[in-house]
Amino acid sequence: MKFNSTVALTLILLAMMLGAGFVSSMWGFTIGHEALKGITQPDVRPTKKLVNEQPGTSSGKEGVKMLREAEILADVQAYIKSKANEAKSDRNSNGDRQDESTTKSPSAPESPDPEASPDRSLESPNSLSLPLKSQDRGVTLEVTSTSVQGGSLLLNVNLKNEGSNSVRFLYSFLNVTDDKGRALSAITEGLPGELPANGSGFSGTVSIPTALLDDAKTLSLTLTDYPDQKLKLNMSEIPVSR
């Protein structure tokens, strides 16, 4: 009897659980159906879209307009031609302004008689400033001329000792700078390492690579004796030949 009551109670609980699950599932379905009411899935079938599309109507979306190559070339040529005409008109207007300024400028004064005074403008820059000399303790350093040979600027120099003692030079101590203050490397040729005190002159060259000169116009040169460095020969405003 006890076994039968247990079975009956189990069946009743099982029936209640099934009933509760069915009721909750129906309730959830009803809520979801109400929430999605009025929402439809879009028709993405291309065949139906083409069938339903009427001629002469617009869908609101326009495709990319394809241009013909001939039209593109014609537009480019027209643009280039307009730019060329603008540049030409600008040059013409600038030329007109220059002509006006030339017309309005006062007449140049007459040049003086060449026989009365020499025309120094015909002289080379070297002849106007060279030779240059520097003297200290009886030693004279002279730059007579400059020239350009084989990618190097050559300074033709004379060195003479009229003092009572011979003087030694170490030409690696020769300091050469341009008018911008930049130090330049230089190579000497023909100058003695020891200058005797007999007054005899020695000629040589100081070679400077033209690649280092850039836009320099003048050079400065400093030379001292070795090892005492009591004698100092300074020279500036040495013109740069081009």
Of residues 139 and 242, which shows the higher confidence score? 139
Structural domains counted in the chain: 1
The residue segments making up the domain with residue 172 are: 139-239
Q: Is residue 49 in a domain?
A: no
- If you average pLDDT over residues 105-133, what whole number do you get? 52
Report the 3 state secondary structure along the chain: CHHHHHHHHHHHHHHHHHHHHHHHHHHHHHHHHHHCCCCCCCCCCHHHHHHHCCCCCCCCCCCCCCCCHHHHHHHHHHHHHHHHHHHHHHHHHHHHHHHHHHHHCCCCCCCCCCCCCCCHHHCCHHHHHCCEEEEECCEEEEEEEEEEECCEEEEEEEEEECCCCCEEECHHHCEEEECCCCEECCEEECCCCEECCCCCEEEEEEEEEHHHCCCCCEEEEEEEECCCCCCEEEEEEEECCC
Residue 63 has a pLDDT of: 54
Dump pLDDT digits (tens) for 3-49. Answer: 677 888 888 988 899 988 888 888 888 888 777 776 666 666 655 55
> Which CATH number characterizes residue 153's domain?
2.60.40.10
* pTM, full prediction: 0.47
- If you average pLDDT over residues 137-151, what whole number do you get? 92
Q: Is the pLDDT of residue 137 over 50?
A: yes
Q: Is residue 46 in a domain?
A: no
Q: Is residue 71 in a domain?
A: no
Residue 132 has a pLDDT of: 93
Q: Is residue 192 in a domain?
A: yes
Residue 127 has a pLDDT of: 46
Q: Is residue 214 in a domain?
A: yes
Q: Is the pLDDT of residue 185 over 60?
A: yes
Question: What whole-number percentage of the chain has pLDDT above 90?
Answer: 33
